[in-house]
Structure 1
């Protein structure tokens, strides 16, 4: 049981590190929370929004880990380190882009309905 608790402690340390040092992590979390609030306002199922938010945040954590390991093993610039960092950042970008596309599909119709109800569009 002690090992399990230590594992959770290490994970929390990783989350705290990402929160303190990674601006993109904080931005992505904020956008995810806004998307959850929007889903509540629009009456959209929050589960897909939560899952997409967690997927993007998870990839951001993996990206942070990859960058840290790359910096450790190669403090000097190296083409393979650049490739690893760029690819891990691209994974986060792709997940964020997919999240935006899914958000348009999920939020578009109910948002248009609300705007029509308020007379903002016809």
Structure 2
């Protein structure tokens, strides 16, 4: 397979800036989604509790990883939903299954996040 000069994957400042701009646009779009706003609000609440209960560095690291993971997974779920909606406007069982699976992954992670939060905060009460 022959690669043209424009197809070569070379690192350039312009390409890097574009990548960050696209990622920033993605975050802006994500912040318009109601479910992500719920996760942001929950993260703000947990962060406030973290300051009140003087979490240790390792506890903060765990909380930050869990919150970032939750938000990232919600963004991936939204991307899957938007892609499925783009591909088909009519109801198709496999499209519905794809959306349900992505939402199920978010629910599973959210439940794990709550359990982790309880492990960290209950001893401090």
TM-score by length of 2: 0.85
Measure, in 2, the Cα distance between the counterparts of 1:67 and 1:48: 28
Alignment gaps of 5+ in structure 2 = 1-12
Q: Identify the match of residue 38 of structure 1 among 38, 44, 49.
A: 49
Alignment gaps of 5+ in structure 1 = 112-122
Trace 1:68-83 onto structure 2 (pairs within 5 A): 68-83=82-97
Q: CA RMSD in A?
A: 0.8
For residue 74 of structure 1, report the CA deviation from its aligned partner. Answer: 1.0
Q: Which of the two has greater helix per residue? A: 1
For residue 34 of structure 1, report the CA deviation from its aligned partner. Answer: 1.1
For residue 37 of structure 1, report the CA deviation from its aligned partner. Answer: 1.4
Runs (4+) of structure 1 exceeding 6 A deviation are: none
TM-score by length of 1: 0.87
For residue 41 of structure 1, report the CA deviation from its aligned partner. Answer: 0.9
Question: How many residue pairs align between the two structures?
Answer: 110
Trace 1:1-122 onto structure 2 (pairs within 5 A): 1-20=13-32, 22-44=33-55, 45-111=59-125
For residue 82 of structure 1, report the CA deviation from its aligned partner. Answer: 0.3
2:21 counterpart SS class: helix
